[in-house]
């Protein structure tokens, strides 16, 4: 067995956390490839090293002095080194970083140093080889991640090593310019490494014991999810369930490698398994509920629109021309509604309205703001009758008015639109009917 283990920022925020990570790695000889994040928050009021680095970059860019801010970062690393009793000096590294920041080496370069330095410490602590991600993770000249070149480089480099630490979050273009993924991107690095070494499992260690059926800020102590499919996860992650970066499943999915979300602070917990497919029945009909506020519905009416060939295309063309992506488009005989993100749409609304009039000649256009979308996701829905019925009667009993319903033919999810103000009530009602009533 070969395992790739990725540790998030809170798992590596201090020497104490590093020690827990060391114990986890030493407890299993199969944990050979380690992907660290930068040190995260030690408590709620703390600042992540990545954010401290962005601050240094902003100061450097505007020609201001950033010595004090850089020193604060150095102190954080020094505390970890001292706490682990390592004989390691980062002096030279910090000199290089200071010089490069003065020479405006770029925002991504600045941010990437958090993982880079943590990787050096982790490698020294474990006695593993350090592999700079800039050598093995490749972005093309437009800054797009080049998955195939990366896979080749990574596979070749790691094939000679028994154990290695590869820092998360960044890679480089062919000319050496450092480029990062979006925030939380170390999850993607872990997945890339798992694919390259054909790992049996990608363990993603964080500060929660896996995915929960619903957001704990809305539901008191929600039930954990033990197994979830990649597809279900995509749906939930897209709708705001944020344990794992939403792009992290792509590399492992190509090889069918399962991801196991684990808790560094409770390593005995089994966590959540993310798999391609499973015959394990979910505990409840639904696997999870997630949602987001802040949507707008653009309701377009035209008599007999359904029989007018090309009407939908013309309407969507206007959204495309305005650079707005749409979320859902439920339609009827005389109406079509386009759901969009309110903050993206707000500044362009009049342009869109006149554009639709010009191109599609509708009778009326109405805009409704402050809506929320809720996704009820579950592979179990396919084989269960009455799921939609239960959802809507639960919402009706809680006095929630449903504005929109969208169920794809895959029967993996049902999307419901409600007013922002009803968001929490709706989630509670759905959770209660599927989880609490079944406990």
Residues that bind ligand ASP (CB under 6 A): 9, 37-38, 48, 50, 114, 168-169, 183-186
C-beta of 112 vs 387, nearer to ligand ASP: 112
CA distances from 376 to 215, 275, 354 (A): 13, 19, 35
Q: Left (φ > 0), alpha (ψ -120 to 50) or beta: where does 415 sit?
A: beta
Residue 245 per-residue DSSP state: -
User: Shortest Cβ distance from residue 234 to ligand ASP (Å)?
Assistant: 19
CA distances from 44 to 38, 40, 48 (A): 16, 10, 10
User: Shortest Cβ distance from residue 187 to ligand ASP (Å)?
Assistant: 6
User: Shortest Cβ distance from residue 147 to ligand ASP (Å)?
Assistant: 18
User: Shortest Cβ distance from residue 185 to ligand ASP (Å)?
Assistant: 5
C-beta of 154 vs 394, nearer to ligand ASP: 154
User: Shortest Cβ distance from residue 340 to ligand ASP (Å)?
Assistant: 27
User: Shortest Cβ distance from residue 37 to ligand ASP (Å)?
Assistant: 4
C-beta of 110 vs 416, nearer to ligand ASP: 110
C-beta of 114 vs 380, nearer to ligand ASP: 114
Interhelix angle for 423-434 vs 387-397, to 10°?
Answer: 130
3-class state of residue 420 by DSSP: helix
Query: Which residue number places its CB atom closest to ligand ASP?
Result: 186
Q: How far apart are the two ends of the chain, measured CA to CA in Å?
A: 36
C-beta of 48 vs 138, nearer to ligand ASP: 48
Q: In 10 A of CB 222, how many CB atoms?
A: 19
Give which of 344, 347, 338 is closest to 367, Cα–Cα. Answer: 338
C-beta of 24 vs 381, nearer to ligand ASP: 24
User: Shortest Cβ distance from residue 40 to ligand ASP (Å)?
Assistant: 7
Would you say the C-alpha torsion 312, 317, 319, 323 has a positive or negative sign?
positive
3-class state of residue 259 by DSSP: strand
C-beta of 116 vs 431, nearer to ligand ASP: 116
Would you say the C-alpha torsion 171, 127, 270, 41 has a positive or negative sign?
negative
C-beta of 123 vs 213, nearer to ligand ASP: 123
Residue 198 per-residue DSSP state: T
User: Shortest Cβ distance from residue 116 to ligand ASP (Å)?
Assistant: 11
Distance of alpha carbon 320 from alpha carbon 351, whole angstroms: 12
């Amino acid at each position: 067995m070969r395992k790739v283990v990725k540790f998030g920022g809170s798992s590596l925020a201090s020497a104490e956390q590093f020690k827990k990570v060391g114990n986890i790695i030493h407890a299993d000889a199969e944990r050979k490839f380690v992907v660290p994040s930068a040190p995260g928050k030690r408590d709620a009021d703390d600042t992540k090293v990545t954010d401290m680095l962005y601050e240094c970059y902003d100061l450097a860019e505007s020609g201001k002095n950033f010595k004090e801010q850089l020193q604060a970062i150095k102190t954080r690393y020094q505390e970890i080194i001292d706490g682990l009793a390592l004989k390691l000096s980062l002096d030279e590294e910090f000199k290089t970083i200071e010089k490069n920041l003065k020479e405006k080496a770029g925002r991504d370069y600045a941010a990437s140093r958090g993982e880079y330095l943590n990787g050096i410490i982790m490698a020294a602590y474990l006695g593993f080889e350090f592999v700079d991600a800039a050598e093995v993770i490749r972005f093309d000249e437009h800054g797009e991640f080049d998955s195939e070149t990366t896979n080749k480089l990574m596979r070749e480099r790691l094939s000679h090593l028994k154990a290695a630490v590869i820092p998360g979050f960044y890679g480089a273009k062919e000319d050496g310019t450092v480029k990062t993924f979006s925030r939380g991107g170390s999850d993607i690095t872990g997945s890339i490494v798992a694919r390259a070494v054909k790992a049996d499992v990608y363990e993603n260690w964080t500060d929660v014991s896996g995915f929960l059926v619903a957001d704990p800020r809305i539901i008191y102590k929600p039930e954990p999810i033990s197994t979830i499919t990649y597809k279900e996860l995509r749906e939930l992650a897209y709708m705001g369930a944020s344990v794992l970066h939403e792009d992290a499943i792509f590399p492992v999915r190509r090889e069918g490698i399962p991801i196991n979300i684990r808790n560094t602070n409770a390593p005995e917990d089994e966590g959540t398994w993310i798999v391609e497919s499973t015959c394990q029945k979910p505990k409840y009909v639904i696997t999870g509920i997630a949602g987001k506020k802040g949507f707008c519905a653009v309701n377009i009416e035209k008599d007999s629109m359904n029989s007018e060939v090309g009407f939908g295309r013309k309407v969507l063309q206007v959204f495309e021309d305005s650079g707005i992506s749409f979320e859902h488009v439920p339609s009827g005989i005389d109406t079509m509604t386009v759901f969009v993100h309110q903050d993206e749409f707000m500044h362009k609304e009049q342009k869109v309205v006149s554009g639709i009039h010009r191109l599609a000649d509708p009778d009326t256009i109405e805009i409704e703001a402050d809506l929320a979308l809720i996704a009820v996701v579950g592979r179990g829905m396919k084989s269960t009758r009455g799921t939609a019925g239960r959802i809507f009667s639960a919402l009706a009993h809680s006095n929630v008015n449903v504005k929109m319903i969208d169920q794809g033919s895959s029967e993996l999810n049902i999307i419901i639109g409600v007013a922002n103000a009803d968001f929490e009530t709706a989630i509670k009602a759905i959770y209660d009917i599927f989880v609490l009533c079944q406990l």
